[in-house]
Structure 1
Amino acid sequence: MPDTSRNDHAQRRENRDPNESFNPVPRLMLGLIAVLLAWALYYIYAARPATLPALGDRRSAEVLAAIPARAVDGEQIFGANCAACHQAAGTGIPQVFPPLAGSAWVNGSEQVLIQILLHGVNGSIEVAGNTFNGEMPAFGDKLGDAEIAAVASYIRNQWGNQAGAVTAEAVQAQRTRTAGRSTPWNGGAELATLK
């Protein structure tokens, strides 16, 4: 017969498992919840969520219409989309990404540069006496005509480049000219046919 006195003694030494009692939530906590709820209701009322979202800062439509449109910043577009590969100084990365400084592709025909920006390039291209075999992404779907014109104008007038500015109308004309194209240009050989 097992010795039950030992088991009884072990059970008496141990504390009972903790359990939730019927203590109410502290009044301080209830007061804090009530204050936060009142503040939230006041905030929603004061914010006037029924107003037009376009007028969130409470300016009238006439005031917003009178603000002149800010010019597209080619340097900012270049920094956000191109500088990682071509570098901030337009030097590119040797044997990996071609330089834009002194590049005949940048300083030459604006039509070719626009097409490169619109559709990208895939394959071998010679820049400044070096051959690069890589892939440049297309920006035609990502950037509008004014943005492509701004970044093209920026790189054509930086780092010693002295080519003319590119207009949004020129970009629109080139976009229309190759509207059916869905693939990148196949290297420098195919780009040379655009000149």
Structure 2
Amino acid sequence: MTPIDILPQQGRENPEPVEQSNPVPWWVLALVVLMMSIGIVYIVDADIETPARWGDGRQQSELSGPKKSGAAKVDGGALFASLCVACHQASGQGLPGVFPPLAGSEWVKGKDSTVAAIVLHGITGSITVKGTVYNGSMPTFKDQLSDAQIAAVLSHIRSQWGNDAPPVTEQTVGQARETNKARTTPFAGDKDLPPHD
């Protein structure tokens, strides 16, 4: 066997790096074990009945929510945001040609029983709002919402975007529901609707 000839260029190279066993320093392991022990002791020793002054200052009664002394107040704004805003928009301006505006609408500001009937039974066909004809479709909410919920959302709508109509009462919605109880289809446009003024 002949010895391997090493060229001058190879002689200048550093040896290939080799991975060695470098254990984690003992003080790092001790620190990790100490921190885990403190965390376990803290969790086991934690008292869920700690005084409010240790937290943000609220008492348990405040975190429990309102007492159920009667019917909870319905949030008409939240109902509008979840059910109506997709068509009528957050600005109340609707979508041109399809969904009419609620802002300044004679139907919204008109008779409360008429607007209640619209929400209860919906509309298919053309409706004229502020001189413009809209050919959209509004779903019925009589089976989805209670009288209190419909009154709340209508009261919200009648007080937004410059509308200044009085709130709608639960009794008004109940009367509109009773008056139109035989109706099984939506109103066929504004010609089928009761008058708004």
Specify the TM-score bucket, using the shorter chain as the normaliser: 0.5 to 0.7
- SS of 2:137's equivalent? strand
Residue type at the aligned position of 1:67: K
1:122 aligns with 2:124: yes
Q: Which residue of 2 aligns with 1:18?
A: none
Q: Distance in 1 between matches of 2:88 and 2:162?
A: 15
Equivalent residue in structure 2 for 1:96, among 85, 98, 102: 98
Q: TM-score, normalization: structure 2?
A: 0.64
Q: Provide, for residues 23-73 of structure 1, a one-character-per-residue CA deviation record: whole Å limited to 9, x for no partner.
A: xxxxxxxxxxxxxxxxxxxxxxxxxxxxxxxxxxxxxxxx99953442000
1:1-195 aligned at under 5 Å gives the runs 66-68=67-69, 69-193=71-195
**Two-structure CA RMSD over aligned residues (Å):** 1.9
Distance 1:107 1:193, change over 3 A: closer
Distance 1:169 1:130, change over 3 A: same
Q: Distance in 2 between matches of 1:141 and 1:126?
A: 26
Q: TM-score, normalization: structure 1?
A: 0.64
- SS of 2:136's equivalent? strand
Answer 1 or 2: which has greater helix percent: 1
Percent identical pairs in the alignment equals 48
Q: Distance in 1 between matches of 2:188 and 2:182?
A: 16
User: Does structure 1 conserve the Cα–Cα contact (< 8 Å) formed by 2:114 and 2:195?
Assistant: no
User: Does structure 1 conserve the Cα–Cα contact (< 8 Å) formed by 2:125 and 2:188?
Assistant: yes
Distance 1:174 1:66, change over 3 A: same
Q: Which residue of 2 aligns with 1:41?
A: none
Residue type at the aligned position of 1:154: H
What is the Cα deviation at residue 147 of structure 1? 0.2
Q: Which segments of 5 or more consecutive residues in structure 2 lack a partner in the other structure?
A: 1-63
Q: Distance in 2 between matches of 1:103 and 1:84?
A: 18
